[in-house]
Amino acid sequence: MPSKHRLPRGTNPERTRGIRNTLLASFFLGWSPILGKIAYAYGVTPFTLAAVRTLVAVALLWLGYGLFWRSWLRITWRELVGCIGVGVVNGLGSLLYYSGLSRLDASLASFLNTLYLLWVVLFLTAAGQPVHWLTLLRLALAMGGVYLLSGATEGEPDWLGAMLMVASAATYGWHLVLGQWVLADIPARTATPYILTAMAATVGLARALQGSPVESLSTAGWSAIVALGVTTAASRVLMFSGLQRLGGIEAALLSLWELVISLVLAFALLGERMTLLQWAGGLVLALSILLGGGERKTRGSQLDEIIARYAG
C-alpha cells in the first residue's frame, strides 16, 4: 500500500520551488518601469533614479549576505575582476534603460526590453556560432515589431527613446554572454553582490560626472526610488534561487511573465493605452522571442548556460 506522504508521479519539489521563485522574481521586475515612471512624475531624473535605486538594492543585498549568506562571499581576485566587468556592462545598460524609459510609455518600454533574448543569439552568432535560418527570421520579425511599436504611437514617435531601449536590451544581452565567458567558475549566488556593487559604482560615477546636485525631491519621489531598490534586490535574490533549480531556457521563458505584469500595471496604474498597430507589433515581437525555442535546440546547452548565469 503506497504511503499517503508519497509525492504524486512527476512531482519535483525543487522544480516547483524554482518555478515559484522565478515567477516571483518576474513579478518584482515587472514593477521596474512602473515605479520608474512614477518617480519621473515627481521630478526624479533618469541618472539619479538609476544611481539611487541601485545603491538601495546593494545595501539591502550586503545586509542580507552579512546576516545569512556570509559563506557565499568568498571570491578570488581574478573572479572579482570578472564580476566587475559584468557589473560595469550591466550599469551602462541600466543608464540606457532609464534614459529610454523617461521618453517612452512603460508598456512600450517593456515590449522593447524583451529584445535581450534575441541579442544573446546575435552575439553568439558573432562569436562564431553558425547562423540558423531562424535567427534571420527572428531578426526580421523583431525589426518589424519594433517599427510598429515605436512608429504607431499616437502623436510623434520618439525614435530616440526607442533606440535607447533597444540599446539597453543589447547591453543586457551582452552582459549575459560576457557572464558566460568570465563567470564560468563562479556560483551565481557568489557573483550577485559583487556584480551589483560594480553596477552601483558605474551608475553612481555617471551621475556624479553630470556635475549637477541631486534634485530636490518630494517624499513621494524618494518613496518610488526606494521601492524600486527593494524590488531590484528581491528580484535578484529570487532569480538566482530559481535559476539554480531550473534550466536557463525554462527560467527565461517564465521571465516573460515580467512583460505581462508591466502591461497590466501600466494600464491599471498609469492609464496607458496602446494602438491596434502597437498591439500587432507587440505580438510580432513576442513571436520572434518564442521562436527561439526551435533555435535553442540547434545550439545545444550553450545558450541555456549563458542565460542561467544571469545574476546581476
| Closest residue by Cα to residue 236 from 13, 24, 16 | 24
Rg, C-alpha atoms of the chain? 20
User: Cβ(151)–Cβ(278) under 8 Å?
Assistant: no
pLDDT score at 308: 45
Buried b (16+ CB within 10 A) or exposed e, 60-89: bbeeebeeeeeeeeebeeebeebbbbbbbb
Instruction: Please name the residue ranges forming H helices in 31-158.
Output: 32-41, 46-68, 77-101, 106-113, 116-126, 133-151
Domain spans in the chain, listed from the N-terminal domain onward: 33-308
CA–CA separation, 223 and 39 (whole Å) = 8
The C-alpha cell 505580438 sits at 283
Question: CA angle at residue 51 from 80 to 243, to 5 degrees?
Answer: 50
DSSP per-residue letters across 219-275: HHHHHHHHHHHHHHHHHHHHHHHHHHHS-HHHHHHHTTHHHHHHHHHHHHHS-----
| Per-residue confidence (pLDDT) for residue 155, from 0 to 100 | 61
Alpha carbon of 157 to those of 103, 105, 235, 256, 280: distances in Å? 10, 11, 32, 25, 16
- Residue 70 DSSP class: G
Asked if 132 and 81 count as a contact pair (C-beta separation under 8 A), the reply is: no
Contacts with 151 (C-beta within 8 Å, 6 or more apart), sequence order? 157
Q: How far from chain centre, in Å, is Cα 247?
A: 17
What pLDDT does 49 receive?
Answer: 95
pLDDT at res. 275: 77
Compute, in degrees rounded to 10, the torsion defined by CA atoms 253, 302, 129, 286: 0
Which residues, 6 or more positions from 60, have their beta carbon under 8 angstroms from its beta carbon?
Answer: 229, 230, 233
CA 44 from centre of chain: 21
Contact in structure between 285 and 108 (CB atoms under 8 Å): no
Q: Are 115 and 146 in contact (CB under 8 A)?
A: yes
Helix (H, G, I), strand (E, B) or coil at 75: coil
Structure confidence at residue 191 (pLDDT): 84
Q: Model pTM?
A: 0.78
> Which cell numbers hold the place of 22?
522565478
What's the confidence (pLDDT) of residue 180?
62
List the pLDDT tens digit at each of the 312 positions of the chain. Answer: 444 444 444 457 777 777 788 788 889 988 999 999 999 999 999 999 999 999 999 999 999 999 988 998 999 998 899 889 888 988 999 999 999 999 998 888 888 887 776 776 676 666 665 656 666 676 677 677 776 766 655 666 788 998 999 899 888 777 666 766 665 677 778 888 998 999 999 999 999 999 888 888 889 999 999 999 999 888 877 876 665 565 444 555 566 677 778 888 888 888 888 778 877 877 877 777 666 555 555 444 455 554 444 433
CA gap 227, 59 in Å, rounded? 13
**Helix axes of 32-41 and 77-101: crossing angle, nearest 10 degrees:** 60
